[in-house]
Structure formats: C-alpha cells, structure tokens
Amino acid sequence: MTPFLKHGEVSVLEEDRESGQAVMSVVLPACVMQAVTPCLLKAGSLDSYELRWPLAAWVPTVADAGFRSPDPTVCSEVNARVARVASDALRAFADVAPHLLFPGDVLPALPLGTYVRFRLRFSVDRLAPQIGLMGGEAGVAELKYALASEVAALLSRWGRTSEDGAPPAEIGPGRRRRRPGRGQGSP
C-alpha cells in the first residue's frame, strides 16, 4: 500500500502474472480522479466507486506568494476559512444523508476534494505508460508517484525489473518524481 496526500492510498488487491492483469484499490480526492480518469480508462476499467468513509476532503492551501496582501496573517486566515467551509459541508452531508432516500442527490454540495474509493482493473502493460501521460494538476503528481510505486513493486514481484533493480522505464517518462508529502496542501 502506498499512501499519498492526507487520506489517499493505492494498493494492489489481486494480481495475475500470467495474464499481466491486476486490480488496485484507489482512494483519492474526486477532483484528482476527474483529472486522471481518461488515462486510467485507457489502461483498464473502474468499478465499485463510492465515497470514502469517514468523509474527508483534500483542500489545497494557497502559499503567501498567492496573495495580494503582504500580511502573512491573511494567508493563514483564508486557508483556515476554506478548510472550515469544507469541513462544515462534510459534516452537513454526514448529518443529512441518513435521512434521505437518495443521499446522492446532495453530492454536488460536497467539496471537489472529497475522497472517493474505487477499484481499477488493469493490464500492467497498459497502465505503466499511462502513468507518465497523466497531467500536472494539483494532487496528480502524488497519485502518479503512488501508482508508479505499486506498479514497480508488482513488476518486481513478477521478475520484470531492470538489471540494476530499478523500476523499468516503461512506468513513465524520465521525470523527477516528487516524494509524497511535498506541496500537497492540507487535509
């Protein structure tokens, strides 16, 4: 299991070396999922989509340089308020959902960064190149790192590593990978 962001994770649930197929469980913010879904669908299929419980949302923070005001307290106050609004929306959904016949009717009221869970059924040979093609939106670099780590471990278990033991180049372009926890915002 490879964690990323605050509550995200990628883990291999099933694998079949003979067919080169595997199934991963992926937990990530819904907005990140929207950004990478086209690449994931080129590698396989998605199913068992659901909200992650307990509810949580990823709310990126804005750095001091992103504000017009030179006052550093403005930055912390704005970031705290945005996080509070997201937290309030999650709490309201959790309170209201049990009383609704169709809780999905109020899903649009949730923050875009609300964590979701799904299964990715894929061909390793089709997923590895897609990881490198994913965009650079906020949160995507951390997901790419987690996916590449899991695919590299899978390929290693299957005996498909390079001579120096490094993950094969097929995992994506030779870009510098960011370590999880860097520049990812707050929960």
pLDDT at 143 (0 to 100): 96
Quick check: is 179 in a domain? no
Q: Which residues pair with 22 in a beta bridge?
A: 15, 122
Quick check: is 21 in a domain? yes
- The confidence band for 38, taking pLDDT boundaries of 50, 70 and 90, is very high
Quick check: is 184 in a domain? no
Question: How far is Cα 59 from Cα 187, in angstroms, rounded to an integer?
Answer: 6
Among the listed ranges 2-11, 110-119, 168-177, which one has the minimum average pLDDT value?
168-177
Question: How far is Cα 92 from Cα 99, in angstroms, rounded to an integer?
Answer: 12
Quick check: is 120 in a domain? yes
Cβ neighbours around 157 below 10 Å, total: 12
Quick check: is 129 in a domain? yes
Quick check: is 135 in a domain? yes
Q: What is the DSSP string of 17-82?
A: TTTTEEEEEEEEEHHHHHHHHHHHHHHEEEEEEEE-SS--B-BPPPPGGG-SS--HHHHHHHHHHH
Q: Count the domains in the chain.
A: 1
Q: What is the pLDDT of residues 81-129, one digit of tens each?
A: 999 999 999 999 999 999 999 888 888 889 999 999 999 999 999 998 9
> How large is the average pLDDT for residues 40-45?
96
39 touches 177 (CB < 8 A): no
Quick check: is 90 in a domain? no
Residue 158 confidence (pLDDT) above 70:
yes
**Average pLDDT value over all residues in the chain:** 86
pLDDT at 163 (0 to 100): 52
Question: How far is Cα 156 from Cα 150, in angstroms, rounded to an integer?
Answer: 10
Supply the CATH number for residue 116's domain: 3.30.70
CA 61, chain centre distance (Å): 17
E-assigned strands of 124-167? none
Element (H, E) at 117: strand 115-123
pTM: 0.80
Quick check: is 85 in a domain? no
Q: Looking at per-residue confidence, does 103 or 19 come out higher?
A: 19
Percent of the chain with pLDDT over 90: 67
Residue 79 confidence (pLDDT) above 80:
yes
- The confidence band for 166, taking pLDDT boundaries of 50, 70 and 90, is low
> What residue numbers bound the domain in which 53 lies?
2-60+112-171
